Amino acid sequence: MSSSWINTRAWLLMLPLLIVMVAVIGWPLIDTVRLSFTDAKLVGTSGNFVGFDNYLKMLSNSGFQRAFLTTTWFAVISVTAEMVVGVAAALLLNQQFYGRTVLRALMILPWALPTVVNATLWRLIYNPEYGALNAALTQIGLLDAYRSWLGEPGTALAALILADTWKNFPLVALIALAALQAVPRDITSAAMVDGAGAWSRFRFVILPYLAGPLMVALVLRTIEAFKVFDIIWVMTRGGPANSTRTLSILVYQEAFSFQRAGSGASLALMVTLMVTVLAAIYATVIRKTAGAN
């Protein structure tokens, strides 16, 4: 059988999938690009061609700039916390102790929960009238009165970061725990015999085995955090006073709440471009990691 026929048959087998991808992804993307150059509304007229006005207005808009900073701050803090907590949990669960299997199974639960369920649970925890967090902090004397954690601009974003960290650190922990299985026991034992402390063993013996997998987890979680929508929408809807409004929330509000389809499309494409850059970094990391192995 000739190689040309094999290639032709492969393309024929992929043809149904390609047709579906063009219909589901290609055409909406093309239409979004078209809309981004118009002043179209969500309902009514199709809009007039305005060139790059939508993009220029968004880039100079203070709401976009604040949303970008909020998104960046959310991604940096939440991903950093997830990496630290995830690696610490993996190191703990890699030790030999009674009940380790049960703890490993329980650790997956926050990650396995649907995001809407997770967000609703944390809304109840932060509730200003009967929330568990207020009750606990009041009983141990750290608070004099209950606070509205999601209703104050100074605490709302931090509360969201905590909820997102609790939701996603198990993914980092699972990746790190899998990588820890490749660390030879005799190397760590030899380091202990040589007098290396816990930090030295982690830094010089264990960390080189974790570096590649953790880099993949870092880029994956950064991409997800940068386009976060659901947990913020359920918990705060971008409030109070837009203090938790990220780029994805801004896209939704611009396109659907304000019904400005043109500017909403341009903003969505800008966010897509940013995520594509992060995805390209992820692909580069994967190739380098594969090449190193």
- Is the confidence at residue 215, as pLDDT, over 70? yes
Q: Does the pLDDT of residue 292 top 70, yes or no?
A: no
In sequence order, the 6+-apart residues with CB closer than 8 A to the CB of 68 are 247
Residue 200, domain member (yes or no): yes
Q: Which domain holds residue 280?
A: 55-292
37 has a pLDDT exceeding 70: yes
All residues at 6 or more sequence positions from 241 whose CB lies less than 8 Å from its CB, including other chains? 153
Condensed to tens digits (0 to 9), the pLDDT of residues 69-95 reads 999 999 999 999 999 999 999 999 988
Q: Is residue 25 part of a domain?
A: no
In the predicted model, what is the mean pLDDT of residues 173-189? 86
Distance CA 293, CA 212 (A): 9
pLDDT beyond 90 at 13: no
In this prediction, residue 82 carries a pLDDT of 95
Secondary structure (DSSP) of 70-116:
HHHHHHHHHHHHHHHHHHHHHHHHTS--TTHHHHHHHHTHHHHS-HH
- pLDDT band of 289, cuts 50, 70, 90: low
Q: What is the full DSSP assignment across 6-67?
A: HHHHHHHHHHHHHHHHIIIIIHHHHHHHHHHTB---SSS----B-TTHHHHHHHH-HHHHHH
Residue 18 within a domain: no
Min mean pLDDT across 146-155, 172-181, 197-206, 211-220 is at 197-206
CB-side exposure of 123: number of CA atoms within 13 Å? 13
Is the per-residue pLDDT at 254 higher than 80?
A: yes
Say if 36 falls within a structural domain. no
Q: Summarize the confidence of residues 130-153 as an average pLDDT.
A: 91
Is the residue at 246 inside a domain?
Answer: yes
Is there a contact between 229 and 245 (Cβ–Cβ < 8 Å)? no
- Nearest by Cα to 266 from 37, 79, 67, 100: 37
**Alpha-carbon distance 273 to 119, whole Å?**
27
Average pLDDT over residues 265-275: 89
- Tell me if 35 sits within 8 A of 261, measured CB to CB: yes
Per DSSP, the residues of 232-251 read HHHHTTT-STTTT--HHHHH
Question: Nearest-5° angle of CA 76, CA 81, CA 84?
Answer: 125
Residue 15 lies in a domain: no
pLDDT of residue 1: 54
- Model pLDDT, residue 66: 94
pLDDT of the residue at 120: 94
Tell whether 3 is covered by a domain.
no
Alpha carbons within 13 angstroms on the beta-carbon side of residue 247 total: 26
Domain count, the chain: 1
Mean pLDDT of the chain: 87
| CA dihedral (268, 273, 274, 280) positive or negative | positive
How large a percentage of the chain has pLDDT more than 90? 42
Look at residue 45 and tell me if it is in a domain: no
CATH code of the domain in which 185 resides: 1.10.3720.10
Q: What is the pLDDT of residue 290?
A: 57
